[in-house]
C-alpha cells in the first residue's frame, strides 16, 4: 500500500503527515536562520528536513519511487512553509529565546508526526512489527539529523537527550494501538502527543540518557 495521496485520501494519518511536513520545514528555516544561511540555502534545508527521514525509510523498505517523487505534495507543502517562514523572519525578526522555542516546538511535533507516519507506512508495506518500529524511528529522527549536520551541529540524536528514545516509545505505542484495532484518530494522535510530551518534559527538566562512558555530566541542551 502506498503512502496516502493528498488528492484522494483523508483522515488522521494524512493530517499528521501534513503537520509533520510543516513542522519540520519550519524547524529547518529556523535552524538555517540561526546558522546565517542565505535564502536559497534555507529553502533547500527546509525541504531536506521535511522529506529526509521519509526518503530513507522508503529506500530501506523498497517503497520506490520514494513518496515525494510519486506524490509531489510534500515538496509543495515544504516549499510553501519555507517561504512563509522566511517572510515572517524578514518582517519580524525573532529574538533568540523565541527562535529557540519555535525550534524545539516544531522539532518535537515533526518528530512525533513522522514517527507515527513512518511506522504506519512500514506496517502497510508488510514489514514485521519490529522493523516497523525501527522505520518509524528513522522517519522521525532522519530529518533532524539532516538539519543538524547541514548546520554544523552535533545531531541531537547523539547528544544524550530524550529524542531517539521518545521516538521509540511513540512507535511502540502506535504498534500496540494498531494491534488493538483502535480507531484511527486515537491510533495516530495518542502516540504523536506522547512523543511531544516526552520531548517537552526532557527539555523542561533537562533530562538526558546515561552516557556510554559512565560520565554523569550532561551536555548543553539544544
The pLDDT of residue 219 is above 50: no
- pLDDT for res 38: 95
- pLDDT for res 214: 61
- pLDDT for res 89: 85
The CA distance from 172 to 90, in Å, is 41
The pLDDT of residue 136 is above 90: yes
The CA distance from 161 to 177, in Å, is 26
Classify residue 80 as exposed, middle or buried by CB count within 10 Å of its CB (0-12, 13-18, 19+).
middle
Query: What pTM was computed for the model?
Result: 0.90
Read off the C-alpha cell for 83.
517561504
* Residues sharing a CB contact under 8 Å with residue 206, sequence separation 6 or more, in sequence order: 218, 221
* pLDDT category of residue 95 using cuts at 50, 70 and 90: low
* pLDDT category of residue 159 using cuts at 50, 70 and 90: confident
**Per-residue pLDDT reduced to its tens digit, 163-183:** 999 999 999 999 999 999 999
The CA distance from 194 to 122, in Å, is 20
- pLDDT for res 3: 44
Chain position carrying cell 520545514? 25
**Per-residue pLDDT reduced to its tens digit, 6-47:** 334 448 999 999 999 999 999 999 999 999 999 999 999 999
Peptide bond preceding 65 in cis form (omega within 30 of 0): yes
CA-nearest of 9, 209, 37 to 124 is: 9
Amino acid at each position: 500500500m502506498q503512502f496516502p495521496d493528498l488528492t484522494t485520501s483523508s483522515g488522521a494519518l494524512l493530517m499528521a503527515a501534513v503537520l509533520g511536513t510543516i513542522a519540520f520545514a519550519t524547524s529547518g528555516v529556523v535552524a538555517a536562520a540561526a546558522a546565517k544561511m542565505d535564502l536559497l540555502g534555507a529553502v533547500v534545508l527546509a525541504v531536506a528536513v521535511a522529506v529526509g527521514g521519509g526518503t530513507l525509510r522508503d529506500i530501506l523498505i523498497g517503497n520506490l519511487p520514494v513518496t515525494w517523487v510519486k506524490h509531489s505534495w510534500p515538496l509543495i507543502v515544504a516549499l510553501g512553509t519555507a517561504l512563509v517562514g522566511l517572510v515572517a523572519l524578514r518582517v519580524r525578526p525573532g529574538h533568540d529565546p523565541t527562535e529557540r522555542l519555535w525550534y524545539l516546538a516544531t522539532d518535537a511535533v515533526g518528530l512525533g508526526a513522522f514517527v507515527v507516519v513512518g511506522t504506519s507506512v512500514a506496517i502497510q508495506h508488510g514489514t514485521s512489527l519490529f522493523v516497523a518500529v525501527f522505520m518509524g524511528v528513522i522517519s522521525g529522527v532522519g530529518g533532524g539529523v539532516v538539519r543538524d549536520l547541514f548546520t554544523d551541529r552535533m545531531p541531537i540524536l547523539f547528544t544524550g537527550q530524550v529524542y531517539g528514545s521518545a521516538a521509540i516509545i511513540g512507535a511502540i505505542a502506535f504498534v500496540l494501538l494498531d494491534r488493538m484495532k483502535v480507531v484511527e484518530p486515537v491510533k495516530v494522535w495518542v502516540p504523536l502527543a506522547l512523543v511531544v510530551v516526552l520531548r517537552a518534559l526532557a527539555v523542561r527538566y533537562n533530562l538526558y540518557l546515561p552516557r556510554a562512558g559512565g560520565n554523569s555530566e550532561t551536555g548543553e541542551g539544544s
